[in-house]
Amino acid sequence: MSSPTSTRSRRKSPGRTEAGGTTVDLFLGGRISVVQPQAGHRAGSDAVWLAAAVEAEAGEHVLDVGAGVGVAGLCLLAREPKLRVTAVEIDPGLCAMAAANAARNGLAESVGVIEADVTGPAKALDAKGLIREGYDQVIANPPYHALGSVRPAPDLARASAHVMGDGGLEAWVRFFAAFAAPKGRLTLIHRPESLSLLLALLERRFGDIAIFPLFPRAGQAATRIILQGRKGSRGGVLILPGLVLHEASGRYTDAAEAVLRGGEALRIGV
C-alpha cells in the first residue's frame, strides 16, 4: 500500500523494465532487489519507512500484513537477519512475487507467504495457517483512502491497495489484535487524516501509542505518520518529533538518506 508517486525517488534505483510488465527495483542503496509490477500497485518508500520503525529482535516472528511484493519484510531482514517473516497478501500475483523476491535476496528460508483476505472469517484465516496471538511484531501499510473519497484506479489491484472499503480499517485492526502475541508490537504507516480513527480503533486493544510524523520539508504539515503500540498495554499516547524528509532544495536530508539508502532504524522506541 505504498505511495506510487515515490517510486522514482532516490531511495531506490529506477526500475529496469523486464518482460511480462515488471520492473526490477533496488532498495536500501542496492542491498535489496525486487521484481514488481510495472503498472498498478508498486512498493515505494513507505515500505522502507515502515521497516525502519520496527525494533525487532533476533528470533522474533514478524507478520507483514498487506505485504504486496514483500519489500517491508525484506528491508527489515536486511537490518536483522535472524527473524522470521510471514507475509500475508490478498493478491495471488503479488504473493508469487513476494515469494520470488525472498528467494532473489537469499531469504527464502526466512520468509513465508500466505495468500489471504485479512478481513475474512476467522475460520478461513486459521485454515490458511495464520497463528492467532503468534507474532511478536505486526507491521502494516493499510490502504490509505476510504471508499468514495477518491476516484478508484482502473487497475483493480492498485485500487484494492489504496482504497479501503466500508469498515475495512476496523477489520484490519481486529486482525492486528487477533494475531499479535500478548504484549506484541504493532507498527503501521498511514495518512495523518486517519489518526483520530486509528486511535479510536486501537483503544482497548493497543496502548503505549507512539506517533512519529514524516514531514516533506521543515515547516510543512506531515504527509505520513508511523504509529506504534503494544498489545494489551494501557499506556497513553506520545507524539514524537518525527523526521523531515527533504531539504529546501528537494534533496533528502542526511537523516532520511541514512534510513532510505543506509538501512538505519528510526528508533521510535515503544
DSSP per-residue codes, 51-104: HHT----TT-EEEEET-TTSHHHHHHHHH--S-EEEEEES-HHHHHHHHHHHHH
* Residue 29 to residues 37, 80, 260, Cα–Cα distance (Å): 20, 16, 7
What is this structure's pTM? 0.86
Angle in degrees, 0-180, between the axes of helices 92-104 and 71-79, rounded to the nearest 10: 20
Percent of the chain whose predicted confidence (pLDDT) is above 70: 83
pLDDT grade for 270, boundaries at 50, 70 and 90: low
pLDDT higher than threshold 50 for residue 50: yes
For 8-17, 161-170, 217-226, 229-238, which range has the lowest pLDDT when averaged over its residues? 8-17
What are the tens digits of pLDDT across the range 199-221? Answer: 999 999 999 999 999 999 999 99
CA dist., res. 233 & res. 127, Å (int)? 29
Q: How is residue 269 written as a grid cell?
A: 522506541
What are the tens digits of pLDDT across the range 130-152? Answer: 999 999 999 999 997 554 443 55
CATH 3.40.630.30 assigned to domain 4-183+244-260? The reply is no
pLDDT higher than threshold 50 for residue 8: no
Helix (H) or strand (E) holding 195: helix 195-202
pLDDT grade for 2, boundaries at 50, 70 and 90: very low
pLDDT higher than threshold 50 for residue 161: no
Question: What integer is the mean pLDDT of 154-181?
Answer: 73
CA dist., res. 146 & res. 155, Å (int)? 17
Question: What integer is the mean pLDDT of 22-39?
Answer: 94
CA dist., res. 65 & res. 70, Å (int)? 10
Contact at 8 Å (CB) between 23 and 101? no
What are the tens digits of pLDDT across the range 80-91? Answer: 999 999 999 999
Among 202, 264, 263, 265, which residue's Cα sits nearest to residue 231? 202
